[in-house]
Chains A and B, each alone.
Chain A
Amino acid sequence: MSDISRRKLITTGLAVTAGVAGLATASRAVLRCGLIPPDSGGIYGPGETLTYAAQRLLTRHSLAREFPRRMISKAPFANAIAPPSEAFKRHQAVGFSDWRLSVDGMVAHPTSFSLSDLKSLPIHNQITEVACEEGWSYIAEWIGTPLVNVLNAVGVLPQARFIVYFSIEPDWWESIDMADALHPQTFLTLGMNDGDLPVSFGGPLRLRVPRQLGYKSVKYITRIAATDSLKRFGKGLGSASPEAGYAWYAGI
């Protein structure tokens, strides 16, 4: 055996061993950490899985950028797409005094919150950017209670892996993993720029997920559910977005 082919053999052997070991380690890490998104099937699945897994490993606890007050946009863009439904208008007519947020699923104490119940929880504010998948963006101050406060109040069970949230508008729902659900900047938002949250921006209640694109921040929230599997919701792809052809994970 010549030197060249022996060297080739050793190099190839080492490369194959390293590759197999690397794949084994990666698949163990993926299984342990839940690094596979619910829309991982199909031809775009590998790309989505790589993005979600890489960003989860990199960004589990990182905070979205916050901005100084002078950078708050004077012209925030409401992106009001559809007129509100009749159900919404009935609540609007009484000033949202009867608005309820029900929290159910894998929780110890399923609870229904009024807006004043939510306001009695610790209220925080953040000046963060809304970035739409289309490309535009604006900065606003968002006032609300971190979602984690509500999850603690109802006692989310340890086996819960996702939080699903629903708008009063039909077919408008999303879900996030626990890393985003427990994240201190994920707000049940009640106010914007020192006032109530305007209807066009999601008032009276919007779930803001500032580390993901705008479409994950669903407006007019009435229900939150904790679950260990997204298979039970809709078509099982995680949210309404993949059903409409858009990625479930929007941290990009």
Chain B
Amino acid sequence: MPAPSSAPIPVTPRHTALVRVTHWITVISFFALLITGAEIVISHPRFYWGEVGNSGTAPLFKIPIPASRDTVPTGYSYVMPDQNGWSRYLHFEAAWVLVLTGLVYGTAGLWTAHFWKNLVPPPADRRLRAFREVFARYLRRASPDETESHSYNVVQRTAYLSVIFVLFPLVIWTGLALSPAFDSAMPAAVNVLGGRQSARTLHFFVSGLLVFFLVVHITMIVLAGFWRRMSAMITGHVAAPSEPK
């Protein structure tokens, strides 16, 4: 009878190289999209519902800022500098990076069962009570226990799945619906959203939800221990817990 192996338990990284690389590429392209998207909004900070909308029609709502075009009635006499040229070039290039990275991540995530193993909540957690318990811990400001350095709780899993499978697909769809050429090939892409201006308004709101996720995500990382969580997403390994002072 051979003796039980004394070899160390293989160290599996907290995050695989694929998850880490695609995560940081997404971070870079998301920031590029966010900044350039804001610049594009500045050229017409009015939003509409339906197919058409312009400075001569009533907006759904306005963002109370000066515009980078003197044809937009903003109430300000100041016209901001036009940044749309490079903003549009970079917006679409970053969108390609995001979409291609997402395709690699999504395909690999299905292939390696990453979604199933790490993100789909285990059956015991698929109930409201599990969510309530996590939120109660958050509200008590209890520090996360050590298992949460190695796995996600049900609220995290739900948030990540929503971002990956709902918000990103929606923001890509509503963005594509703003392309007149794409719409010529797939008119339903814009028609089911209620028209071009509805698609633009939805694109703005879904982007807002992604920013909301980002703010909460970073806040939670700071509360959980910024450098420990960051190094796990950079090196793949969880640093030893620091001694309580």
What residues of chain A have their CB less than 8 Å away from a CB belonging to chain B?
A: 43-44, 46-48, 50-51, 55, 58-59, 62-65, 67, 71, 73, 75-77, 79, 81, 129, 131-139, 210-213, 244-247, 251-252
Contact = CB atoms under 8 A, between A and B. Distances in A.
Contacts of A43: 93
Given A211-B180, A245-B86, A135 B41 contact: yes
Contact of A247 (B41, B89, B96, B187): B89
Given A134-B43, A211-B184, A246-B85, A73 B178 contact: no
Given A77-B71, A137-B53, 17 more contacts: A44-B89, A46-B96, A47-B93, A47-B94, A62-B184, A65-B190, A77-B55, A79-B71, A134-B40, A134-B72, A135-B44, A136-B44, A136-B53, A139-B52, A212-B180, A244-B85, A251-B180
A67 B51 contact: yes
Secondary structure call for the B interface: helix
Given A135-B40, A137-B197, A251-B180, A77 B54 contact: yes
Interface string B147-180: 0000000000000000000000000000000111
15 contacts: A55-B182, A59-B182, A62-B185, A64-B184, A65-B183, A65-B187, A79-B71, A129-B180, A132-B54, A133-B43, A134-B40, A135-B41, A211-B181, A251-B179, A252-B92
Interface in B183-202: 183-185, 187, 190-191, 196-197, 200
Choose among A63, A132, A212, A245 the residue with the greatest number of B CB atoms under 10 Å from its CB: A245
A145 to B, nearest CB: 21
B15 interface: no
A252 to B, nearest CB: 4
B100 to A, nearest CB: 9
Contacts of A71: 51-52
B84 interface: yes
Contact of B71 (A47, A81, A131, A246): A81
> Shortest 9 CB-CB distances between A and B: which pairs?
A47-B93, A245-B85, A251-B181, A75-B56, A44-B89, A136-B54, A77-B54, A135-B44, A62-B184
Interface string B80-119: 0000111011101111100000000000000000000000
